[in-house]
Amino acid sequence: MNALSAESFGNRLRTTTSARGPLCVGIDPHPALLAKWGLDDDVAGLERFTLTTVEALAGQVAVIKPQAAFFERFGSAGVAVLEKAVAGIREGGALSIVDAKRGDIGSTMAAYADAFAGAASPLAGDAVTVSPFLGFGSLRPLLDLAARTGRGVFVLALTSNPEGGQVQHAVNGDGRTVAQTVIDAVAAENAGAQPLGSVGVVVGATVTGVGREHDLSALNGPILAPGIGAQGATADDLKAVFGPALGQVLPNSSREVLGAGPTVAGLREAASRTLEAVSSALGS
């Protein structure tokens, strides 16, 4: 999707997950996985890994999430592979979330917006992940451009890494945690959207006590939930973590599926098993 879209990301996400099921598969071509596939840790290995994954899954799963850092570490040649991935995912009918976790202020944030949500940018997928910890308002250039181009934005809120709590669980003067402040700001962006807002949050599937300590009830947007598989969360954990917000959850699994490569058939089979497990847990 390089042209302006008349259809919102939230609507396209709901349509695609209804047809293909609620699963996002990451593309995380780190050195250990390349080696497991028998590939060299170079641009050729990166491209083979990436395009095989896209071939296997772009016509099967709802969402594919390439992790930008694993492409950027090879410089411009690696970024070119990321561009091919975004194009191939689109051609296969899946939605793409470029996992870039960008966050800055002013003209720099506007430049990130052009790169990851601009109508003509080859790096712009259907959505992008961002960090709000320079203040939610710093994301405004990206939020506005994404809304105009029909793209989505996933904002980090409650991440699964143990260090995240130092910032995300800190309490503001109004008694809300930083994470709740982010969630509430996203909810304001999505107010009135039907059937689903286009601004989501990232909440790790390994995070405990989400419903008790953080309120997702007004979010009206998707919840990207990484951590299924290698990070320790199971599909059954989704109910305990997300409770009443379960219907908005988009579970993400990366190494659990990617480890079944290098064959297209192996990847498809692993994705099918994971989809069956998360669909059962979500009641979809």
- Positions marked catalytic: 101
Distance, C-alpha 251 to centroid of its chain: 9
**CB neighbour class for 166 (10 Å; exposed up to 12, middle 13-18, buried from 19):** exposed
Distance CA 155, CA 193 (A): 17
Which residues, in sequence order, are CB contacts of 226 under 8 Å at separation 6+? 26, 160, 202, 204, 205, 252, 254
C-alpha gyration radius of the chain: 18
CB 238 within 8 A of CB 281: yes
Distance CA 188, CA 243 (A): 21
Sign of CA dihedral 106, 108, 110, 116: negative
